[in-house]
Homo-oligomer: A and B are copies of this chain.
């Protein structure tokens, strides 16, 4: 009995058995591992959204966890398959396409290897489903205690693919500071979750937070940051820092993403914040 965990994050959906097949492959090699689904509803091919969910979830798992992420529009081309180990945090397995951008930025002490040892893949590798043929067996073998060093050749971390624009920064302007991010995920409640982290505001006073201007162009203009949903009138649109530490736009007891039954906004849409001085 080993108590390690493998998490799965993908854009595979839950309808086609793709995830079930990955679990079949994993359990054959590691019969007593626990598998946890993070999300399989990443917007198809949206690497930024996958990177975000991996980032906001991984730190709630034990440090011997193996995190598998597959959003892989380049499957079958020569993009690399990678395995990244972060001491005290976990192991990450993904295509080298930017899915690990947050992880790479957060943990400079990582080691990275290309998954090139054929013993870590199924005997037959398809052109379209490396989640099943490479990532799952690699995760299972690592969970069973196979050494990370056996996975394949060391990679210079500098060469790992990063998504540009994922980490917004304050742009000092003539009078007011401004920053631009985007909606990176929309949750079940219709909360618009941005890639704008709370720590960019850590030196702001409550008064300054109350004066921030948050804009989704052509859609919403909001003033100030609230503390929680529950204290506000149903139907009201608010901005707040969500449970994973990023700026969200939410409609209390409703959806900020929908107008009527139609989803009116999608991941990728720009969001700006302006800090009005004085």
Question: A-side interface residues toward B, CB under 8 Å?
Answer: 1, 3, 5, 7, 9, 11-21, 23-25, 27-28, 31-32, 34, 36-42, 44-45, 53, 56-57, 60-62, 65, 73-77, 79, 126-129, 132, 185, 187-190, 193, 227-231, 240, 242-243, 253, 255
Complex-state Cα separation, A189 to B75, whole angstroms: 14
Complex-state Cα separation, A121 to B253, whole angstroms: 26
Copies in the complex: 3
Could you say which residues of chain B place their CB within 8 Å of the CB of A127?
227-228
Could you say which residues of chain B place their CB within 8 Å of the CB of A24?
5, 7, 36, 57, 60-62, 65
Contact across chains for A34 and B27 when beta carbons are under 8 A apart: yes
Contact across chains for A3 and B21 when beta carbons are under 8 A apart: no
Contact across chains for B31 and A3 when beta carbons are under 8 A apart: yes
Known contacts A23-B36, A77-B230; 10 further A-B pairs (Cβ under 8 A): A3-B31, A14-B40, A16-B188, A17-B56, A20-B57, A28-B60, A28-B61, A73-B253, A76-B230, A77-B228
Complex-state Cα separation, A12 to B60, whole angstroms: 17
Complex-state Cα separation, A262 to B44, whole angstroms: 16
Complex-state Cα separation, A227 to B79, whole angstroms: 16
Contact across chains for A128 and B44 when beta carbons are under 8 A apart: no
6 residue pairs bridging A and B, Cβ less than 8 Å apart: A3-B31, A3-B32, A44-B188, A45-B253, A76-B228, A79-B230
Contact across chains for A41 and B14 when beta carbons are under 8 A apart: yes
Complex-state Cα separation, A24 to B185, whole angstroms: 20
